[in-house]
Amino acid sequence: MPIQILPRKLPRNIAAFIGNSGAKLGIDPNAITSFGLLGAVCAAWLVGTNFLLTAGILYLFFSALDFVDGAVARASGKASPFGAVLDAVLDRAGETIMITGCVWYFVYRDEHWQTLVALVAIFGSVAVSFIKSEGERRGFEIYEGFFRRQERVMILGIGLIADGLTIAIIILALLANITALQRIFLFVTRIKSQS
């Protein structure tokens, strides 16, 4: 199994605490998901307007809500297929919008090769998610991969905070596309095992 840097889920006791707290407050999990997208849009705008530190902090905070919405949905009994699809779509939208903010940042500064690398990063992040979705459509899960959404968010957020956006985008573009190749290999392997 490929190495995973960060866990896919929160520890059970922490998830239960967060979920129960949110459920007691009557917070709608789909509202949390939508709020996460709004945060990504704001962070992307901040990147494009050169407020990198603030953008990084906001992006990490709002991306962490991805752990919260599912926990609240389960604790409140509001988990649903619609909520799962909404979560997946808005997560991908938020990440794409955020990297597009980086494209804007590089274009505005006439940093041409960095712009190209950011576009490659968008492709890699979308490909990783797409292969996972295709696996689920065919009845098996593909969560493995060295550089999943958790790692991509962490690297980009830290890169913004540390004023190292170019380095972060290079890492993101390279490792996201390597992860897409890993998942293609896993996809093909599991397809063959079904036949």
Residue 120 to residue 45: CA distance in whole angstroms: 20
pLDDT class of 161 with cuts at 50, 70, 90: very high
12-194 CATH pick, 3.40.50.300, 1.20.120.1760, 3.40.50.1220, 1.25.40.20? 1.20.120.1760
* DSSP code, position 6: S
Amino acid, single-letter form, for residue 107: V
Provide the residue type at 163 as one letter.
D
pLDDT band at 24 (very low <50, low <70, confident <90, very high): confident
- Of residues 147 and 96, more confidence is placed in 96
Average pLDDT rounded to a whole number, residues 20-30: 80
* Per-residue CA distances from 21 to 27, 29, 30, 180, 184 (Å): 9, 12, 16, 36, 39
Q: What is the pLDDT of residues 66-107, one digit of tens each?
A: 878 878 888 888 888 888 888 889 999 999 999 999 999 999
Residue 11 phi/psi, 5-degree rounding, is: -55, 145
What pLDDT score was predicted for residue 42? 97
Map out the domains of the chain as residue ranges: 12-194
Answer whether 135's CB lies under 8 Å from 190's CB.
yes
Tell me which residue of 117, 182, 172 sits closest to 149, measured CA to CA: 172
Gap between the Cα atoms of 169 and 152, Å rounded: 9
Residues composing the chain: 195
Q: How many CB atoms lie within 10 A of CB 59?
A: 28
**pLDDT attached to residue 6:** 59
CB–CB of 55/43 below 8 Å? Answer: yes
Confidence of residue 3 (pLDDT cuts 50, 70, 90): low
171 band by pLDDT with thresholds 50, 70 and 90:
very high
pLDDT value at position 15?
64
pLDDT at 9 exceeding the cut of 90: no
Q: CA-to-CA distance for 83 and 133, rounded, in angstroms? A: 15
- Per-residue confidence (pLDDT) for residue 1, from 0 to 100: 45
Assessment of whether the complete model's pTM goes beyond 0.95: no
Residue-wise pLDDT for 100-134, tens only, equals 999 999 999 999 999 999 999 999 999 998 888 88
**Quick one: which of 132, 108, 91 has its CA closest to 45?**
108
Residue predicted with more confidence, 53 or 19: 53
Hey, what's the torsion of the CAs at 128, 72, 40, 94, to 10 degrees? 30
